Amino acid sequence: MAIDYHRLRSAAFAPLRHAYGPDDCILYALGVGAGLSEDPAIGDEVEYLYEERLKALPSMAAVIAYPGFWMRDAVHGIDWRRVVNGEMRMTLFRQLAVSGDVIGHSRVARVTDKGPRGGALVVTERSIVDAATGQPVARVDQVNLCRGDGGYSAGDAAQSDEALPPIPRAPERSPDDILVLPVSRNQAAIYRLTGDRNPLHIDPQSAKLAGLDAPILHGASMAGLAARAVMRTPPSAHAWVGGIDIRFTGMAYPGRAVAVELWRSPEATSFRCVEADSHRELAFGVAAWQSAGSMEA
């Protein structure tokens, strides 16, 4: 069963109400590896793990009001076993609070045919608003690479949307800093509890059927790991991350440490994630800083 462009673009998502609290923030932080490092430059990260002075990581927007692995439903015509996260683009309109009651409105915003060898790109846009006031909290654009579904349009341009503009790479100079972050063997298993139940991240048989050596780490968990690195060196005491764009370029595996290279400026921090031992690139992106004064969610 091939992708039906028009049916996929009109896929219906019911508004999803999500009340979350400190336990959810702590579970998310554990799922992105917080508290594992012994490097003094990273610290104990107790601010993400202890309810008495808890902070929510900005990348947690990825799991708030998340509609789940909806591509697994056969009605969409997607070869879900070969789907991987290609990009995430998160915009925060205010700092995330450690508890909230929100509503997520999701839709399929773009479907791009990259050809039989390139696969198809499916962009899910999620707008998150405060349930009481309707005020915007965050927007998340998730780009899934459907590796087995390219060529569905048979060259018909009316059935393929223009892809999103590319995420910029880091400056062509040496990084300002490099932080090596441990990744536990059970990090993907923990991250699944935030709502992403794609079996590629836990089941060896599913991973093998998808052409992978072993279950892989969630791309969104990698985004949280990068956010932790970025947060260690804000440009000012009151700056906060108002957006994170990340493109995933390689498969990351649980148990293999990640080195995060950082290029800093007052407005944004560019980053690149590589496997610490092999230096194989895993992801790159940019985090935009906002000045103090924006209202919290």
pLDDT exceeds cutoff 50 at 296: no
Residue 24, Cβ neighbours under 10 Å: how many? 20
Q: Residue 297: what pLDDT? A: 45
Q: pLDDT tens across 14-55, in order?
A: 999 999 999 999 999 999 999 999 999 999 999 999 999 999
Query: What architecture (CATH level 2) is domain 5-290?
Result: Roll (3.10)
Q: What percent of the chain has pLDDT over 90?
A: 96
Q: CA–CA separation, 242 vs 226, rounded Å? A: 14
Q: Residue 292: what pLDDT? A: 72
Q: Averaged over 224-247, what is the pLDDT?
A: 96
Q: Residue 215: what pLDDT? A: 97
User: At 39, which amino acid appears?
Assistant: D
Mean pLDDT of the chain: 96
pLDDT exceeds cutoff 90 at 295: no
Helix (H) or strand (E) holding 150: none
Q: pLDDT tens across 86-140, in order?
A: 999 999 999 999 999 999 999 999 999 999 999 999 999 999 999 999 999 999 9
Q: Residue 2: what pLDDT? A: 86
Q: pLDDT tens across 153-207, in order?
A: 999 999 999 999 999 999 999 999 999 999 999 999 999 999 999 999 999 999 9
Q: Residue 12: what pLDDT? A: 92
Edge-to-edge, what's the strand order for the sheet holding 120-130? 16-20, 100-113, 120-130, 136-146, 83-92, 240-248, 281-290, 268-275, 258-264, 177-181
Q: Averaged over 255-271, what is the pLDDT?
A: 97
Longest dimension (CA), the chain: 57
Residue 17 carries which DSSP code?
E
Q: Averaged over 268-295, what is the pLDDT?
A: 91
Helix (H) or strand (E) holding 120: strand 120-130
Among 79, 19, 29, which Cα is nearest to 54's? 29
Q: Residue 293: what pLDDT? A: 58
Q: Report H helices in the chain.
A: 5-9, 22-31, 187-191, 204-209, 219-231
Q: CA–CA separation, 165 vs 77, rounded Å? A: 26
